[in-house]
Amino acid sequence: MAAMALTTLEIKYAAIGMHADGGGLYLQVTKGGGRSWIFRYQVNGRRREMGLGSAADLSVTQARAVAEDFKALTKKGRDPLEEKKAAEAQAAMTAAEDTKREVLEGRTFRTVATKYIGAHEAGWKNAKHAQQWTNTLKTYVYPLIGDLPISEVTTDHVVEILTPIWSAKPETATRVRSRLELVIAYAKARKWFQGENPAVWRKHISALLPSPSKLKNVRNHSALAWKDMADFMTGLRAMPGTGARALEFAILTAARSGEVRGATWAEIDLATKVWTVPGARMKATKEHRVPLSGAAVALLEKLPRVRGEDLIFPGARSRRPLSDMSLSAVLRRMKRAEITVHGFRSTFRDWASEATLHHPDLAEQALAHAIANKVEAAYRRGDLLEKRRVLMEEWAEWCGAGEEEDV
């Protein structure tokens, strides 16, 4: 294996294709710039191969160790791929059983919150307070984690609940956070939740979101109405500048601002019309594939390419992305400061729900939202790419994809 082992430079600058490292281990480099480790082996007369993981997550040393372990299995006549599938199936079954047990025991967030309200409402000054508790949880919390076992609630869930309303409705958001913290504290006291409370403010959520006291209550809607998208896009396409093109791309892909501003040409595969965002730049830290509509591809093809610059939307300084204010500045120049860049994701979600017959899961997958249901997450293998491609083409058409002009 040592004689054939890839060097650090060979790994770093490997061209598209399969590169042998020895012992059945290969580095696979795709057209989109993706890099992963592949283990090829033969067992019981069958030639097989299995993916070991992304080269960004698994170092060459780790990959070689895994390959060696799997090679030892094959010498015993055991198939690593079949054993991996069996382990995944067992894990899914165990997860399903754990979830079923927790649901039967009444430990979803919804049921625990109901128990908390029941235990405390006698001490509240009036029935209206209890109703306000119930209403805020139904509106902002239950859609995301209502049916999730409370033991599985994480900081990511809390931030995902709070972010859309933190600036637009700071008073409401503060109440929601407080109620999340109290319900989880109740669960901890009942020994239904282990570890630190993910909704606590001091030295936790305070590090992730700005202080409510420093926010101004936004009176206008932060998201554009989905019926107004075509007119808005006509105005946006008339705006010059990299910031305007980045905002247009963000809208067409329903992506977050940071994902777009950090996008590189190496992540784009124009042949397959797919943008692969690495997990390191995703909120959920998992790789996300975005199907590119014809309008999104056309936008990319018109952009200038700067030698030595891999960023698709570079900032004023070389090899530095646009600032997070660049896209908001476009909205201000359009005299649409009442809406936010992030709000276009809500616009897309509203359009998908109200104007299409697509399953809600497609829009959630397009927005790269985490799957709250533990059982569903365990069994879902694909990312619905081709179905999402149809959805994104329809979204581009709704945004007036056929009316764009060269800018």
pLDDT tens-digit readout, 188-210: 998 899 999 999 999 899 899 88
CATH architecture of 109-214: Orthogonal Bundle (1.10)
| Position 176, amino acid | V
- Residues 86 and 13: their CA atoms lie apart, in Å, by 36
| Position 45, amino acid | G
pLDDT at 256: 92
* DSSP code per residue over 341-354: TTHHHHHHHHHHHH
Q: Which range among 112-126, 150-164, 222-236 shows the weakest confidence by mean pLDDT?
A: 112-126
How many other C-beta atoms can be found within 10 angstroms of the C-beta atom of residue 97? 11
pLDDT at 295: 94
Q: Cβ(386)–Cβ(282) under 8 Å?
A: no
Q: For residue 310, what pLDDT band results from cuts at 50, 70 and 90?
A: confident
- Residues 280 and 85: their CA atoms lie apart, in Å, by 26
- Is residue 3's pLDDT more than 60? no
pTM comes to: 0.48
b or e along 193-217 (b: 16 or more beta carbons within 10 Å of the residue's beta carbon)?
beeebbbbbeeebeeebeebeebee
Q: How many helices (H) and strands (E) does the chain have?
A: 17, 7
pLDDT at 318: 66
pLDDT for 17-72, tens place per residue? 999 998 889 999 998 888 999 999 998 888 999 998 898 888 999 999 998 989 98
In terms of Cα–Cα distance, which of 178, 148, 149, 144 is closest to 161?
A: 144
- Residues 19 and 27: their CA atoms lie apart, in Å, by 5
- Is residue 284's pLDDT more than 80? no
Q: Which range among 59-63, 321-325, 379-383 shows the weakest confidence by mean pLDDT?
A: 379-383
Four-way CATH pick for 226-403: 3.30.9.10, 1.10.443.10, 3.40.710.10, 1.20.1250.20: 1.10.443.10
DSSP summary character for residue 199: T
Q: In sequence order, what are the residues at sequence separation of 6 or more whose Cβ sits closer than 8 angstroms to the Cβ of residue 392?
A: 252, 253, 254, 290, 291, 292, 293, 296, 366
**What's the mean pLDDT in 118-141?**
85
Third-level CATH fold of 8-78? Double Stranded RNA Binding Domain (3.30.160)
Q: Cβ(52)–Cβ(66) under 8 Å?
A: yes
Q: Cβ(177)–Cβ(199) under 8 Å?
A: yes
- What are the sequence ranges of the domains in the chain? 8-78, 109-214, 226-403
- Residues 247 and 249: their CA atoms lie apart, in Å, by 5
